Every structure is written in structure tokens, then in C-alpha cells.
Structure 1
Amino acid sequence: MVSKISEGIEISVETFYQPDYSNPVSGEYMFAYRITIENHNNFPVKLHRRHWYIVDSNGSNREVEGEGVVGVQPSLQPGERYQYVSGCNLRSEMGKMYGTYLMENLHSKSQFDVNIPVFEMIVPFKMN
């Protein structure tokens, strides 16, 4: 698991290889990741947008941007956490993701970026 705190928001990420949804012969590797977002500020926040960078070890890079996460724009009170699971497909056995969330301070209405730490996705048999 990797974690990072920026702008008072802690982002933790766990990754899981999904062998049942992968097809190595065709160069398809599926990973799930669980993200926990925790508000360490003394004000409530709302997540508006996500911006991901996906880097495959075969040299391909993708960007994904959009509203919310898994179809929602969660609000978090001080000390509250929100967790979700999503997935990513790679064309090689290793890759990484990182990015930002656009958040809003619900008291001041100001917006700010929160950094999502770099996390690796590696097929387990590749680590031997």
C-alpha cells in the first residue's frame, strides 16, 4: 500500500492483480485498485474531478479525466474517509498510475488539487 497526504487529504492505494480477467497470451493484464480518501482538514471537502496518468511498461501512456470517482462526487466531513474500488487494464505485465483529484473546500468554496501517489501494478509472477 502507498499513501500520501497533500492539502490535508490522505490518499492510500492498494492494488490487486486480477488473473481471472487477464489474458497474458493476448497481452491483457487487469488490475483492481482500492483507494481510501481521508479528510484531515478542519473543513468539509467535495471531490469534483479525477485526472489519471497510466504508464505501461511497454512505453504506452494514457490520460483519463472526468467527473468524480466511480460515478459519484463524494463529500467528506473532517476526519471522514471514503473508499472505492476501480480497475485498470494494461498491455504489459507492469505499469503504474498517478494523478490528481480536484477538491473543493465546502466552507470557502475554493478549489484545490490533491496528489494521488504513484502506485505500481505488477503481475505477481513477474516479481520472482
Structure 2
Amino acid sequence: MTYPVLISTALDARDPRGLAEFYCELLGLHYREGGEPPTEGPDDTDWLVLLDEQDRRIVAIQEKTDLRPSTWPSEEIPMQAHMDFAVPDAEELEAQRERAERLGARLLMDRSGDPDEPLYVMGDPEGHPFCLLVW
């Protein structure tokens, strides 16, 4: 039997380039060839694909100008989807939370003291929730 293979998670963004830069910095990704920021003229890119060190697709970002960011944990505008990013220990969890905030993320929930699964729920610059967790 053949199964479909997940090749990336696609995220909507009002500012696709800004969100792509956030995930490039946060996860150490790079642009698929042709998706790099332009060196001159306007940036009218509405679809970007980000790759890992082995050139595997990880995140795709598409422009959606009327995006309404999630208000999670309020259900006014639900989460709809989120990504989980694992770190090896509590020290790295703190370092990555601080780093994500410097890159433009905001803290939505602090469960770093949970003895079974310490984690932070963060919002990326476009409001998409994601988790940083010890795994």
C-alpha cells in the first residue's frame, strides 16, 4: 500500500516574507531556489517554500491579506492548527522561548513547570500558535 507523504505545513500570512524570515531564523531553514528576497524592486511574492539542511520542504507560506489571527486560548478565533517543535531539555526550552520572542513571537501559555511535558505555546508574528516542548 502507498500512503501520501506530508511534504510541508502551509501557513497563511498577511506578510509572507516577514513570516518566512521568522521561520528561517527560528528553525535554521532556507528558501527554495527562486524564493530568496529580491535584491532590488518590490517583493510581490505570495508563496514561499522553506527547506531544511537536506533541502526537504518544511514550511510553505502563502499570502492571505484578510487573515484574522487566532485569539487562542479564547475560542473567538480558534487555533485551527499548530506546529510542535521539540528541544532536548528545560535549559534549551528557555533559550528557544527567549529566542522566539526576540524574533517576534509572543508567549500565549506557559506550561514550562509541567513535570510530564514542559512547554510554551507561542504565537508567531502572524498569530499562528506553535509549541516549544521538551521531547
TM-score normalised by structure 2 residue count:
0.24
With a CA cutoff of 8 Å and minimum separation of 6, indicate the structure with the bigger relative contact order.
Answer: 1
Q: Higher helix fraction: Structure 1 or Structure 2?
A: 2
More strand by proportion, 1 or 2? 1
